Structure 1
Amino acid sequence: MAEVKLIGTSQSLNCIRIEWALKLKGVEYELIEEDLLNKSPLLLRYNPVHKKVPVLLHHGKPIAESHVILEYIDETWKNNPLLPEDPYERSMARFWAKFSDEKCIFGVYEAAWLEEGEEKQKAIQSAQELLAILEKQIEGKKYFGGEVIRFLDLVVGWIPRWLNAMEEVGSIKLLDAERFPSLHEWSQNFIANPVIKECIPPQEKLVNYFNFGISYRRSLAVAKP
């Protein structure tokens, strides 16, 4: 029986970033693929609060929420540290990780799902303003973690493939190489890493995933009285 198990799904960046961390640490694990349209008793048992993936099982003990899991992995397996030792730098990595997840991803998704019109154009502008803030954080560096991939790189790892999929589904272009040269270069460096590349799902799979989600959200918007 595997010492480490991951309940997740290959379309979810929150899950893939955990796989990246485990692979960077050289930790063997068993992936338990979850059907989010028909949640398993296993998921509901180990994450009864949020009922979401990912969930890491280590010696049968569950850890939920991707940022929490990343820190648990980093503290449990000390090789190839993800977070910097300096307290200030650690706090900054956490701050920008939260910014990416709570502001940037939702900003991009908003720009993608809205139908053509003034509201969509405003959302596109807002998303690009958020990406410009991230651009400043990566200027002059190979990775957000410096010369090696670390915590913030894994969290922002949605940009190379997931952002492209959302752009395609939403018929938009946000990450222009001319406007965001540093982010674009970082994306190329990140996705070229063999460990990262190994876990990235095909573009078509992500496009289908976002097509379903955006179509569902649009249908809910239409149904509102």
Structure 2
Amino acid sequence: MPRIKVIIPAYNEEHSIANVINDIPKIVDEVIVVNNNSNDETAKNAIKAGATVLTETNKGYGFACLKGLDYIAAHSEKPDIIVFLDGDYSDYPEELSKLVKPIIDDNIDLVIGARTKALREPHSMTPQQVFGNWLATFLMKFMYGARFTDLGPFRAIKYQKLLDLHMEDKTYGWTVEMQLKALKQKLSYIEVPVKYKQRIGVSKVSGTIKGSIFAGLIILGWIFKYSIKK
């Protein structure tokens, strides 16, 4: 089996983080929770559940993901596959096996967990999330010929291919940056339909108008930035 590590950015997810960790398949070599300046028991509960816990005081999804990658880079034994997963229990961690299968069996570089309508629990995605995903993927298809239908955070990628992307976004543009750079570098990719349910707690992004607008502007900024480069 390939070596698989999971990175989970987490901000105030004390009620959900243990559930997420406990449902991750045993094929995973290490679960890394990046405590992103939480002021609750997220870190404590993650440690109890068996995860490696890192601390990133700079708030931002990208900051947390980069912290996890820095930790991995500092160790001599490198993984083959990195899986990104949210800490709010909206995804089904046990479906990780489905995400890594195309990489293992078919040598695919990047796999996105697509939150298809048929598999989504009612009201698990806000109207602004649904519209934002549609708009972003429509623009990516129109401008770059992409086949993406979602910017879902539950995803798997070959470790070396991820390093080659030279990820830099510190906030909510992390997912779209990865997909845009994968297109630019002509990585092979596929979407795998995954189930999705209502998260535990309130979303820090889509749960507020300010968060939704901020995330939307960052995502659109990345898309049009690549249009100019092209």
Which TM-score applies when normalising by structure 1?
A: 0.32
More helix by share: 1
The structure number with the bigger radius of gyration is 1
More strand by share: 2
